[in-house]
Amino acid sequence: MTSAKTGDTVSIDFVVQKADGTVVGNTEQSGPQTVTLGQNQIFPQVEEALQGMSVGEEKKVAVDSDKGFGPRRDELVIDIPRANLPADPAPQPGMGLQAQNQQGQPINLVIIEVGEESVKADGNHPLAGEDLVFDVTLREIKDAA
């Protein structure tokens, strides 16, 4: 029976949950994800688990927050004067914004609080600080050329 190895392109299905069991992602609607092993296209812990798996095999893989999306960083929660935002549409919690960091690179922010004079926006990834568990199923292996 063939098993996955570095250089192989594999198709996987997965469900991602936070430590409390809340599902935060899956391939249910998008279909299997294709990954080439050894090209850092998925978390290293998941890629390592795929090594040696056979088609149809399932594994549960834990990814600690520091190895996933990193810790939450308080300095990424910022106040933005409302005068710096467009008037329309009116800012609402959950609304996304794009800004530039001090190096000129784009960063995505989500408004978490709206005040009269300013809004509070969070630049952390939504899963920062969260330990994750991947339930991975190997669907197909295409051998490296």
Region 33-38: what's the mean pLDDT? Answer: 95
Class of domain 74-122: mainly beta
DSSP string of 86-97, one letter each residue: -SSSPP-TT-EE
| pLDDT computed for residue 60 by the predictor | 97
The Cα–Cα gap between 103 and 101 comes to 5
| pLDDT computed for residue 145 by the predictor | 58
The answer to whether residues 123 and 98 touch, using CB atoms and an 8 Å cutoff, is no
For the chain, residues classed under CATH 3.10.50.40 are 9-69+128-142
The token pair at 116 is: 């009269």
Beta strands 77-81 and 106-114: pairing type? unpaired
Task: Give the start-end residues of each E strand in 1-145.
Answer: 9-18, 23-26, 33-36, 58-63, 77-81, 96-100, 106-114, 118-122, 132-142
For the chain, residues classed under CATH 2.40.10.330 are 74-122
53-103 confidence digits (pLDDT tens): 999 999 999 999 999 999 999 999 999 999 988 888 889 999 999 888 788
102-128 confidence digits (pLDDT tens): 888 888 999 999 999 999 999 999 999
CATH number of 9-69+128-142: 3.10.50.40
pLDDT bracket for residue 1 (50, 70, 90) = low
The upper half-sphere exposure of residue 36, i.e. CA atoms within 13 Å in the direction of its Cβ, equals 4
Position 27 pLDDT exceeds 70: yes
